[in-house]
Amino acid sequence: MFPVLAEPEIARVSRFGSVRRYERGALLIAAGEPSPGMLVVLGGVVALNQRDGLGHVIPIAHLE
């Protein structure tokens, strides 16, 4: 589900997007909001979470 891309693969997909920087704690994608499409994380940490019906945060993955 979360593949690690080699340098040639990153170079190949980079022509279809742009490099963006996000502040620590920034929300990258939210349910119900328009998505930017595929994200390729070049550095940093990404925490994937979901909320249940009671609003509890449930961790899905922590990627470094």
CA atoms within 13 A on the CB side of 19: 4
Q: Return the bridge partners of 48, or none.
A: 61
pLDDT at 43: 92
Residues 23-29 have a mean pLDDT of: 91
pLDDT band at 2, cuts 50/70/90? Answer: confident
Tell me the pLDDT of the chain averaged across its residues.
91
Q: Give the residue from 55, 22, 24 showing the smallest Cα distance to 39.
A: 22
pLDDT at 64: 86
Cα separation of 37 and 29, whole Å? 9
Using the predicted structure, report yes or no on whether residue 31 has a pLDDT greater than 90.
no
Cα separation of 25 and 10, whole Å? 24
